[in-house]
Amino acid sequence: MSPSEQGAAAIGRLPASLLLRLTRSRPDELRATLWAFVYFFALLAAYYVLRPIRDEMAIQVGQARLHEVFTLVFVTMLLVAPVFGWLTGRFPRRRLLPWLYAFFIANLLAFFVVFEAGGTQSAAVARAFFVWVSVFNLFAVSVFWSLMADLFVTAQAQRLYGFIAAGGTAGALAGPALTAGLVLLIGAKGMVLVSAAFLLVAIVALLRLRDWAQRTGATGDIDAQRPLTGSVWSGITDLFRSPYLLGICLFLFLYSLLSTFLYFQQAELVPAAIGDSAQRTRLLALVDMTVNVLTLLIQVLAFGTLIRRLGTTFMLAAMPVVAIVGFALLALHPGLATLVAFGVTRRAGEYAISKPARETLFNVLPPEQKYKAKNVIDTLVHRFGDTSSSWIFAGLKGLGLSLPTMSWIAVPLAGAWLGVALAMGRAATARQREAA
């Protein structure tokens, strides 16, 4: 080979070399990692295109009736969980998942027809759309991470999940940007079609991942060719039989509880500090943008290195430690600057560190629990945490407790969250060693 040909070959290898370094994948994993990135990007872009429309419809429902809608979301989750359990017991996952997303696309096309007929002004349609988007978000994302737990073992997840999660963050940035730029031109009905188009991309990526798994014999692929065992309620009953799964539930519940505490504090501190509505909106937008940029940088550049060097236990414990310090600072200095600094750190850390690390907890589980039990945790437990924690905060507020006092109450809760994180990290590590 001539020097010029050698140079050309080196240039051709350069993009692949950069991609391998960026994704922290091996050559045989690169294609799957990139398709997983595209899959998660399209999935969250589809959701975030719809989220502003959902929130606008929540305004139409009215604050006085919004708690009824949240209750309806939880009830819907309760009904969907056994249906999903029934489907996974009758159909192989390899065939089921593409049809599941096709069903979501059909739902969006039905909403397009309703919106075309002027249904956006209907309170009943607003409630139905709010519930559907809320259920779709948690359910579709839960299924995505279940598939990732099927395709990759824990060691692979520790290297690859940071980059794959970055795909979702990029989608979370692209979705609202598209809605902001296009909704005045094509309306809410047009944005529904944009969301459906992103779901089509997600199906293509899913099929590519399925082909890769079949070709390479990836972990879980043989099991994915046959239905899951167990009853339609096994996802729920497994939670009460497994201390490990209950630990994950408690971890997620404490996260939801503390998130609600901080959200309610934001709802009071921001208006008290900034009287102008436009300025408040600008501040919140800047906070969201800062969170998403930091999240993307950590996911792409740091997560794989951090979890490999520090371990799952450290990654799970990081955000509880931030919560302890943050709520203590809010109790001592209950001001806007403290709130913003704590909020940005907590949210970026949750999306970039805690969430991907939490997903690795499911890699050591059997397929039935990766799908059925995980789906229950990500949907029912999550929504139960949101609903119950809002009532807890409202009850404490009704007792006349001040925001600093509420922050001090949150500190031991964050300490309990830290204890659960340490226990779950050790339990996951022990299971990984047993499997090895």
Give yes or no for residue 435 having a pLDDT over 70.
Answer: no
pLDDT digits (tens, 9 = 90+) for 298-344: 877 777 677 778 888 888 999 999 999 999 999 998 888 898 899 88
pLDDT digits (tens, 9 = 90+) for 129-140: 888 888 888 778
CATH code of the domain made up of 233-436: 1.20.1250.20
What's the mean pLDDT in 10-19?
58
pLDDT digits (tens, 9 = 90+) for 171-199: 988 887 787 777 778 887 888 999 999 99
Give yes or no for residue 76 having a pLDDT over 50.
Answer: yes
CATH of 27-229, one of 1.10.10, 1.20.1250, 1.10.357, 2.40.10: 1.20.1250
What Å distances lie between residue 370 and 68, 147, 239, CA to CA?
Answer: 31, 8, 12
Give yes or no for residue 34 having a pLDDT over 80.
Answer: yes
pLDDT digits (tens, 9 = 90+) for 374-430: 777 777 777 777 777 777 777 777 788 888 888 899 999 999 999 999 999 898 888
Confidence of residue 365 (pLDDT cuts 50, 70, 90): confident
Tell me if 27-229 shares its fold with 233-436.
Answer: yes
Query: Of the given ranges (120-134, 189-203, 239-253), which has the lowest mean pLDDT?
Result: 120-134
Q: Can you give the pLDDT at residue 205? A: 93
Q: Give the predicted TM-score (pTM) of the model.
A: 0.69
What's the mean pLDDT in 148-161?
79
Q: How far apart are CA 110 and CA 408, in angstroms?
A: 48
Confidence of residue 368 (pLDDT cuts 50, 70, 90): low
Tokens standing for residue 10: 């080196």
Locate the domains of the chain by residue range: 27-229, 233-436
Q: Can you give the pLDDT at residue 429? A: 84
